[in-house]
């Protein structure tokens, strides 16, 4: 027995050392940055441990739960919701939230994930049920805002902060989708017809405007040409008149020149009537007299 005494003492010392080491190991808690530990002392909430190393009393303290502090996403199957105009639509929603108070999330609600999901479904039916189908389809931002505000207010007592709520899809019944597609096609056809008519109208306006500008330019050109012709004729008449006066013609020469001009006047298709002035008849008489005197000798009367 005396030989076993020291061995028992060594075994007892080793057990004590192992026990102390295990106590020390259990007393040290290293908490990840993204989590929080709820510590209870003798079954009652004691404190919350956040990221980093911590010391606890292993015998009287224990970790009640580990709470994830990161933002979490709850996505549940599409829900059938009855709108205000009694149409059934399938609404798919995603909720983004995070735990801000680990103590409240642990003691105020048994399962905060399930609670957030069920509360989201109930709130979604209340919000979308107060809108008709057209309002629900075009008011996604309004629905998201109402859902987010309602959920955030309800989950605040659970230590949960709802960041945002997003509508993934709002699907009306198949028959209604077909009718909506036909309506959209008709609307697109109507807009295309309006744009085509507007383009044709603008084209006609541009063509008419171009024709008007062309007529104006043509008239301006004809006007300028007429003015230039008139100016040329005026200058020619002035030159001829000056030349005639410079040559000092007598009445016989003028009558002879007029007689040469008469056939040219008669050739014009627009000349229907022309008048012989009295001066021409007098000149013709003079010419006739001159030819008679030059052609036959005068006879003396008995």
Supply the pLDDT for residue 36: 93
Between the alpha carbon of residue 218 and those of residues 206, 213, 221, 259, 267, the distances in Å are: 18, 8, 5, 39, 30
283 within a domain of the structure (yes/no): no
User: Do 122 and 162 sit in the same domain of this protein?
Assistant: yes
pTM score over 0.95: no
> Which residue range is the domain that position 101 belongs to?
72-172
Shared domain check, 198 and 117: no
Give the SS3 label for residue 39: strand
Residue 169, SS3? strand
Same domain, yes or no, for 180 and 167?
no
H or E stretch including 52? strand 52-55
In this prediction, the residues of the chain whose per-residue pLDDT falls under 70 are 1-5, 175-180, 240-241, 243-245, 247-302
Torsion of CA 125, 126, 130, 131, to 10 degrees: -40
> Does residue 92 sit within a domain?
yes
Query: What is the pLDDT, as a whole number, of residue 82?
Result: 84
How many structural domains are present in the chain? 3
192 and 211 fall within a common domain: yes
Task: Answer whether 160's CB lies under 8 Å from 99's CB.
Answer: yes
Q: Which of 79, 103, 82 is nearest to 93 (CA)?
A: 79
**Residue 301, domain member (yes or no):** no
Residues 89 and 158 in one domain: yes
Rounded to whole angstroms, the Cα distance separating 285 from 276 reads 14
Domain boundary among 142, 172, 202: 172
| Cα(246)–Cα(190) distance, integer angstroms | 83
**Three-class DSSP category at 164:** strand
Burial 262-286 (b: 16+ CB within 10 A, else e): eeeeeeeeeeeeeeeeeebeebbee
The string of DSSP codes covering 88-146 is: EEEEEEEEEEEES-HHHHHHT-S-HHHHHHHHHHHHHHHHHHTS-HHHHHH-HHHHHHH
Same domain membership, residue 49 and residue 107? no
Q: State which of 20, 48, 68 marks the end of a domain.
A: 68
What is the reported pLDDT for 174?
72
Judge contact between 286 and 251, C-beta under 8 A. yes
Could you tell me the CATH number of the domain that includes residue 144? 3.30.479.30
In a domain, 261, yes or no: no
DSSP string covering 192-244, please? HHHHHHHHHHHHHHHHHHHHHHHHHHHHHHHHHHHHHHHHHHHHHHHHHHHHH
Residues 58 and 127 in one domain: no
Answer yes or no: do 164 and 81 share one domain. yes
In the sheet that holds 35-41, the strands lie side by side as 44-49, 35-41, 61-68
Q: Are 261 and 230 in contact (CB under 8 A)?
A: no
Is residue 45 within 8 Å of residue 103, measured between CB atoms?
Answer: yes
Of 116, 147, 172, the domain-final residue = 172
């Amino acid at each position: 027995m005396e030989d076993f005494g020291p061995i028992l003492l060594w075994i007892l010392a080793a057990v004590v050392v192992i026990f102390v080491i295990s106590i020390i190991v259990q007393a040290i808690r290293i908490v990840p940055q993204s989590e929080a530990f709820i510590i209870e002392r003798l079954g009652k909430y004691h404190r919350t441990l956040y990221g980093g190393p911590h010391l606890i009393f292993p015998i009287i303290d224990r970790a009640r739960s580990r709470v994830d502090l990161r933002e979490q996403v709850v996505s549940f199957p599409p829900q059938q919701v009855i709108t205000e105009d009694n149409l059934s639509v399938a609404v798919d929603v995603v909720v983004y939230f995070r735990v801000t108070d680990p103590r409240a999330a642990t003691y105020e609600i048994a399962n905060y994930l399930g609670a957030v999901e069920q509360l989201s479904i109930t709130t979604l039916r209340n919000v979308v049920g107060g809108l008709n189908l057209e309002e629900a389809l075009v008011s996604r931002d309004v629905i998201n805002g109402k859902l987010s505000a309602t959920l955030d207010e309800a989950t605040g007592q659970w230590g949960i902060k709802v960041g945002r709520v997003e509508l993934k899809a709002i699907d009306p019944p198949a028959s209604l989708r077909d009718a909506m597609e036909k309506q959209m096609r008709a609307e697109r056809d109507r807009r295309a017809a309006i744009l085509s008519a507007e383009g044709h109208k603008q084209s006609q306006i541009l063509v008419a405007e171009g024709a008007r500008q062309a007529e104006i330019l043509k008239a301006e050109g004809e006007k300028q040409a007429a003015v230039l012709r008139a100016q040329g004729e005026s200058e020619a008449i002035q030159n001829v008149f000056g030349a005639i006066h410079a040559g000092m013609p007598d009445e016989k020469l003028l009558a002879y020149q007029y007689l040469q001009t008469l056939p040219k006047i008669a050739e014009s298709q627009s000349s229907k009537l022309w008048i012989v002035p009295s001066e021409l008849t007098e000149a013709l008489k003079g010419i006739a007299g001159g030819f008679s005197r030059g052609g036959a000798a005068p006879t003396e009367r008995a």
